[in-house]
Each structure stands twice: as structure tokens, then as C-alpha cells.
A and B are shown apart, each in its own frame.
Chain A
Amino acid sequence: MKVLILNGNPKEEYGELDSYLKDLSHSLESKNHETKLIMLRSFQFHDCIGCYTCWLKTPGICCFKDGMEDILKEYLAADVVILASPIIMGYISALLKRVNDRLLPFGHPFLVLRENRMAHVPRYSHYPKTTLLLDSNEKIDEESFKLIEMVYKNSARGVTKIWSSKQEVEEISNEVVNI
């Protein structure tokens, strides 16, 4: 399987998540999964500005050429994507949310009605299974964990699975196989 891990930890000084993800990546590789770990904070990504160029002018391609195009390619080529982030102010990092927003070119402007609510038509015929890995070290984050889960469960493309970095690396890497 091809696994893409996007590390949305914005803080260099917060090394725990970085090393956790490295361990996870090694563990997946030892199980013969082709794994790619990308450090998002080493890029200077633009926020999505809602210009709809990727829908209406250059279909599928964002107006910004800042390296995100390579991430979109890797994303589509993967079987499983793990979006990883520390919980900051009760939510995923702005860094990871920025990438999340920039997935707009994966959709198409046309609307459909699905489960009695509106959604967009997909652009590609196949998408990877997307998962979230949340890193929390404080107690208050338990509630945040649930809220983040709620938001992603509510979303059309959704996430297949939400993990916590409190889980053993092996446990997660075993589950990736059976996803």
C-alpha cells in the first residue's frame, strides 16, 4: 500500500509529534508499505483565497504555484493519507487546515444532492482513504478531539478513521493495513 503522511505540526520546538510520525513511517515501511512523510511547515503555502481559478479557469489547478501541486499529486497517488496535527486552540493546526482548504481543486463546481443535502461532484474517479492523527497532551483536548471528529464526520468526503498519538505506533500501523 502507498501511505502519505502529512505532518501538520507547525512548531519546531515541539518535537514529540515529529518523532512519533518518523516512527510510524518506519513501522509502515517495515511492513512493506511505500511511505512518504512530508513536513508541511517547511513550505510557505498560501491560504486559499476563494478565487475559484481551480474550478473555473484552469480546472483542477490552483492559481498558486507554491509546492502544493506536488502534494496534491502525492495525495491522489496514495491509498491512505494520514493528516497529522497537534491540537491547538481545540482544533487542527492552521498549517494543516491550510492544506485542507487547498484541496478545493479535487472537487468540481457542479452540485449534487446527497443524503438530502448539497455536495459537490468529485473531479477524480478515485480518492485515497483519508485519516486524521491528532496529537494531544493536555486533558482539555479530549473534548476538542470529539469536536474535530464531529466536523470531519459531518463533511462530505469525510475521514475514514481518527487516531490519537496516545496510541502505540504499532497499533496504528497495523490498522492502516486493514483500512
Chain B
Amino acid sequence: MKLSIFNGSPKPGVNNTAVLLERFIEGFEVTEGNKAQMIRMNHEQAYKEAALSFEAAEAVLIAFPLYSYAMPAGIKTFFEQLEPLLGKCNGKKVGFLVQYGFIEAVHARALEKYLEYIAKALDCDYMGTIIKGGCDGLTKSKRGAKKTLTGAYEIGKKFGETKVLDKQQLDDYSAPEIQKQQNVLVMKVLIKIINKVYWEKSLKKNGISVEESFAKPYGN
């Protein structure tokens, strides 16, 4: 199978989407004859060109970070380029990968419904959406994200073999849906640690105190 993978991270350089995709592709290409082609799109012209690649592709995976509980504006620009293809994709296989900072899967569930809807409106064969939270630091520390990366590899591998995204496998990968009540205390402690060692440290590196980080330049 030839799979065209669109990476729509708006970031100019290294990005978490790419780190995850790398492992997915590794798994996907384990099966002989499988080949993934990466298409980077993060500016106006690239969205236009990507629409042409989309039209020509046999099977497609559209990957991007969650931005405000939905796709980034750039991915929406790309979708708008696809408008002439509404109802005309003849069952082209399309799947999505959405990764983001928050840990729980619930943040991307409403978007997932939309992605399914728009894929079907294009008359694509909707394969599913790989949803993975807790991905904010992937480019910084691959060691701390071993499970996340191995999971992407496993999903890619199984997809490479079967040519379908396994719903159960995706759900296991996305878990937890939300935090269970009995985990709330643990999570609160974890969040305190993230704020301290991740965010406060990044601020400090830029010479910004916690107090300064709460600046209100435009109002109350």
C-alpha cells in the first residue's frame, strides 16, 4: 500500500506530529510493499499543493496537533482547498492522527466526529482517527515518551498488515478518556510537577519570573 501522509503542524521546524509519525511509518513499512510518502504543509502555498497530492493519493493520513479543541487554521485552509472534491473521492481511504498536550482523549472527541463527517462528505472511506494526548514534549524527550512512541509504531504496524485502523487498538492508545475520580489527587500532584519542572523552568530560561508570566498587557 502507498500511503500519503500529510503533516499539518503549523510549527516551522521540529514538531511533535513528526516525531509520532516517524514511529508510525516505521511500523507501517515493516510489511513488504508498503511505502509512506510524507508531505509537509504549513503555509498557504503548501496547502494548495497538498490538495493536489491529496487528489492523486491512493490512501491518506492527515496528521496535526489539536489547536483549541479542533484542527489548526492551516488544516482548515487545506480542507477548504478540497471543496471541489466534495462527493468525488470515490472511496479514497482517509484516516487522521491528532496529537496534543492534555492527557485525556475527551478533548479531541468532538473534533473526531467532525473529521468523520467531512471525510464522508468527500466520499472518502473514513478509516478512523488516531488520538493521542500528552504529546507536548515529544521533541524534547523521547525517553519520557516511550509508551507513546511504541504505541504509534504498533498502530502503524498493524495498519500496515491489515490496511485498517483497529478501533480497539486506537481506544487503548487514547486512554484515559477522562481522569477517573480516584485518580484526581494523583493528577493534581502530577500537574503541579509539570507546572514546576516543565513550564516554570522554560520561563526561567527566558528570564521570566512566575509573577511576570501572568502579565496582563491588554486589560484587567
Residues of A within 8 A of B (CB): 47-52, 55-57, 59-61, 69, 72-73, 76-77, 88-95, 97-98, 100-101, 103, 108-113, 115-119, 123-126, 140, 143-144, 147-148, 150-156
User: Which B50-94 residues sit within 8 Å CB-CB of chain A?
Assistant: 65, 67-74, 76-77, 79-80, 82-83, 86
Residues A113 and B184 in contact, CB atoms below 8 Å apart: yes
CB distance from B210 to the nearest CB of A (A): 9
- Establish whether residues B110 and A154, one from each chain, have CB atoms under 8 Å apart when the complex forms: yes
B194, A111: Cβ atoms under 8 Å?
Answer: yes
Chain B residues with CB under 8 A of A150: 110, 113-114
C-alpha spacing A93/B72, complex, angstroms: 11
Among candidates B67, B187, B206, residue contacting A113 with C-beta atoms closer than 8 Å: B187
Checking B114, B194, B218 against A151 with a beta-carbon cut-off of 8 angstroms, the contacting residue is B114
Q: Are A59 and B214 in contact (CB under 8 A)?
A: yes
- Say how far B82's CB is from chain A's closest CB, in angstroms: 7
User: Given A91-B114, A93-B76, are A117 and B107 also a contact pair (CB < 8 Å)?
Assistant: yes
Range class of the B interface residue count: 35 or more
- Which residues of B lie under 8 Å from residue A152 when comparing CB positions? 69
Nearest neighbor of A77 in chain B, beta-carbon distance: B219
Cβ proximity bits B170-194 to A, threshold 8 Å, 1 near / 0 not: 0000000011110010011001001
> Are the CB atoms of B117 and A56 closer together than 8 Å?
no
Find chain A residues with CB under 8 A from B39 CB.
none
- A116 adjacent to B179 (CB under 8 Å): yes
Would you call B117 and A151 a contact (CB within 8 A)? no
Stretch binding the partner chain, chosen from B7-15, B142-150, B157-165? B7-15
Q: How many A-B residue pairs have CB under 8 A?
A: 170
Complex contacts, B217 vs chain A, CB 8 Å: 59-61
Tell me the bound Cα distance from A103 to B68 in angstroms.
9
Q: Is the CB of A89 within 8 A of B83?
A: yes
Would you give the shortest CB distance from A55 to chain B, in whole angstroms? Answer: 8
Assembly CA distance A88 to B79 (angstroms): 9
Tell me which of A76, A95, A148, A155 contacts B68 (CB under 8 A).
A155
Q: Are B11 and A59 in contact (CB under 8 A)?
A: no
Give Cα distance in the complex from A59 to B209, angstroms.
Answer: 10
Are B220 and A125 within 8 A (Cβ)?
yes
Given contacts A76-B219, A113-B179, A117-B179, contact A90 B199 (CB under 8 A): no
Residues in A neighbouring B206, C-beta threshold 8 A: 56-57
Whether a CB of chain A sits under 8 angstroms from the CB of B34 is no
Interface centre among A92, A95, A103, A116 (most CB of B within 10 A): A116
Closest 6 CB pairs of A and B: A98-B73, A76-B219, A94-B76, A118-B102, A150-B110, A155-B69
Knowing that A101-B72, A113-B191 are A-B contacts, what are 10 other residue pairs whose CB atoms are under 8 Å apart, sorted by A's residue number?
A76-B219, A89-B86, A90-B118, A94-B73, A109-B213, A117-B104, A123-B214, A124-B218, A148-B114, A154-B69
Q: List 16 interface pairs A-B (beta carbons < 8 Å), by A numbering.
A: A47-B77, A48-B72, A49-B11, A55-B213, A56-B203, A90-B114, A95-B73, A97-B68, A97-B71, A110-B195, A113-B188, A116-B104, A116-B179, A116-B180, A151-B70, A151-B111
Contact in complex: B113, A48 (CB < 8 Å): no
- Is residue B109 within 8 Å, beta carbon to beta carbon, of the partner chain? yes
Q: Within the assembled complex, what's the spacing in Å between the Cα atoms of A155 and B70? A: 9
Inter-chain contact B216/A123, CB cutoff 8 Å: yes
Most buried by A among B69, B191, B218: B218
